[in-house]
Structure 1
């Protein structure tokens, strides 16, 4: 026995043998019994031991021909993979598991296909997008609940010509796609680098390796893919980046997505920001804080609807904010001058357009500013929201239902 696949086969044989004797055990129970046959405590121990002892050489990366090639396939519900990126996948559908077994028994290559609708349980060709990714399987780990964690590395784009469950396993017929010539785009790459720093800061994304990548390559397509893989976008918008085959056009799309300086702001949110400044000016405060902004949000049609969906009592929230502004900010009262937004206020306002993009809003609204406010965990505004039951998780659920 060389690796855990042999142990799985033994477990399957054991289950079938016991079934003929009118004894039924679960898949996980059979794995545990096989582990004990080897004198080990459980399946996790056996799996780890066999992985550690495995000395198989890495499988060579197969080259697609111009003709159609057939591969095991994995449909993805909520992920758009890109070349040169590594992804952990969690799979449980039987047809997907069988496809992974076939891939591990073969060249360790599999086609990752993106579903158009996550709710489809048994996708066919019409249920997946045309462009997918040929990927290499790196590791397959069984989990206690009977599902599997598989680690994959994207290789390159392919076009799907067929996709179906054949012999209980998903398979896809694909052809190689041409991505076109790469031209010099140093100015655009420099601009994307600058914008992406703002983007990662707004989303709290740590990508130290990416800065080295920007310095070491001038390949427009690779840079676009590496940035796209880390962006938070609706599945449809992210797929459009994957399906943009021309490297320069893909880079231009990335540039446009990262430059949110011209993203439209809703009339409600513009009025909310003006009202926040008025709250500060009326109290002769030197600064406009997040508490001024949150007070204005309680009258914002979009943001207030979401807070109400979280069962917040807006009247009591307003009372708490007014009490804070009138009693706790006396030290920033000035005799003359217009109030200036605090650094936290500016961060929330700068973060809101990225969050609008992430959920597919055509314009920035008070809802996006409300979500952006949660990152300012030390602010009294965030504390007051928590006290009234308004959390990031509840707000996200309300947005998913279309509230606001």
Structure 2
């Protein structure tokens, strides 16, 4: 066998032969069958082996002139990739799948272009941002629903000079970009290190790898990209970090974003927090716990609407919370003073502000607090929500539906 084209020809012949026998399989399934016939685990592995033997291949990139090159492209709706990071992506658009096939048949390099609006199904040049990432394709897996899971590794920033949908899939014309020379940023990096520790704690994030990375490098650009990859931000904010070609400005922007957001609190959520403290005070509890907060959220107009969308029986949930508060917290009874929020209560409140920032809410609401409660997995409040079949995933879907209804 000379190259991947012979293997694809075999797959096409197999597919046509099976069709004559009333057996229908997809093109990708025929490729997988041919790979197994040749003693290889899957098509991606076979393709890689064949490409490794080809020394005369021109590669997937077409040089248009000295400054630009043409690559297969993948438009991204809800992800901003950065260099030196590995990303799993789930794709299903026909133009994207064709572009991935082109990339896997060539040098396994693809341009990742970030869409300005996630709702655009067939993007053109005006629908993507100017800066993207040249990435290496590592794995391609066909999922049961017909979509693909793709594993990529970001290589470097590129500037998009063109983006089109062709019969062979999306393609992007790009040129390389130069990043500014980094200055001494030791003091700024130290501040970011300290603030990122607070940020990960507030989000309940476990990132042990990044602390070792901080010890091993002092490159401002790499540190900025590594931290940006792990931050939970709206797409626009993340893109602005990607597009900042000066590493120092990128670090300064990250430092500003790492400051705990000063989001105003909505009138409803302010009343909900007071109600949670009142629930504790009326029971003469020394501390206001997450269960007091959950009881208040049941009466919060925003949070209760989302819970109802998730199928929660609010009456039954309220009964469970009341039974817990009245029977299980006798050990925190006190004779004097006002209830003090527990550390978990304060973490949820802080995390709610971060969630409001992430999704672009102008103010913190009870919905944000409801989402912020899920990482507290050991709390009875989280357990009672789980007993009602409520998960973070279901709440996120309900939030999207509510946002769509508000716009409509």
* 2:358 corresponds to: 358
* 2:308 corresponds to: 308
* 1:196 corresponds to: 196
User: Which runs of structure 2 are paired with 1:51-70 in the superposition (5 Å)?
Assistant: 56=52, 67-70=67-70
Q: Report if the CA contact (8 A) 2:91-2:149 is conserved.
A: yes
Specify the SS of the correspondent of 1:172: strand
* 1:97 corresponds to: 97
The CA distance in 2 between the partners of 1:293 and 1:177, in whole Å, is: 50
Q: Report if the CA contact (8 A) 1:28-1:146 is conserved.
A: no
Specify the SS of the correspondent of 1:264: coil
Q: Report if the CA contact (8 A) 1:94-1:168 is conserved.
A: no
Question: In the TM superposition, what is the alpha-carbon distance from 1:292 to its structure 2 partner?
Answer: 1.4
* 1:125 corresponds to: 125
Q: Report if the CA contact (8 A) 1:28-1:144 is conserved.
A: no
Q: Report if the CA contact (8 A) 2:291-2:380 is conserved.
A: yes
Q: Report if the CA contact (8 A) 2:82-2:242 is conserved.
A: yes
* 1:349 corresponds to: 349
The CA distance in 1 between the partners of 2:161 and 2:50, in whole Å, is: 36
Q: Report if the CA contact (8 A) 1:70-1:174 is conserved.
A: yes
Number of residue pairs the alignment of both structures matches = 399
Cα 1:36–1:272 shift into 2, 3 Å: closer
User: Which runs of structure 2 are paired with 1:109-188 in the superposition (5 Å)?
Assistant: 109-142=109-142, 147-188=147-188
* 1:382 corresponds to: 382
Alignment of 1:205 onto 2:201: no
The CA distance in 1 between the partners of 2:277 and 2:293, in whole Å, is: 8
Question: In the TM superposition, what is the alpha-carbon distance from 1:114 to its structure 2 partner?
Answer: 1.3
* 2:76 corresponds to: 76
Q: Which moved more, 1:124-133 or 1:149-158?
A: 149-158
Q: Which moved more, 1:153-162 or 1:346-355?
A: 346-355
Cα 1:49–1:216 shift into 2, 3 Å: closer
Structure 2: gaps (5+ residues): none
* 2:297 corresponds to: 297
* 1:337 corresponds to: 337
C-alpha distance after superposition, 1:297-324 (max 9, x if no partner): 2332322222233343444433433333
C-alpha RMSD over aligned residues: 3.4
C-alpha distance after superposition, 1:261-316 (max 9, x if no partner): 53333333233222222221222211111111122223323222222333434444
Question: In the TM superposition, what is the alpha-carbon distance from 1:16 to its structure 2 partner?
Answer: 5.3
Q: Report if the CA contact (8 A) 1:2-1:50 is conserved.
A: no
The CA distance in 1 between the partners of 2:204 and 2:309, in whole Å, is: 27
Specify the SS of the correspondent of 2:402: coil
C-alpha distance after superposition, 1:35-58 (max 9, x if no partner): 5644x6xxx835487489679399
TM-score (norm 1): 0.85
Structure 1: gaps (5+ residues): none
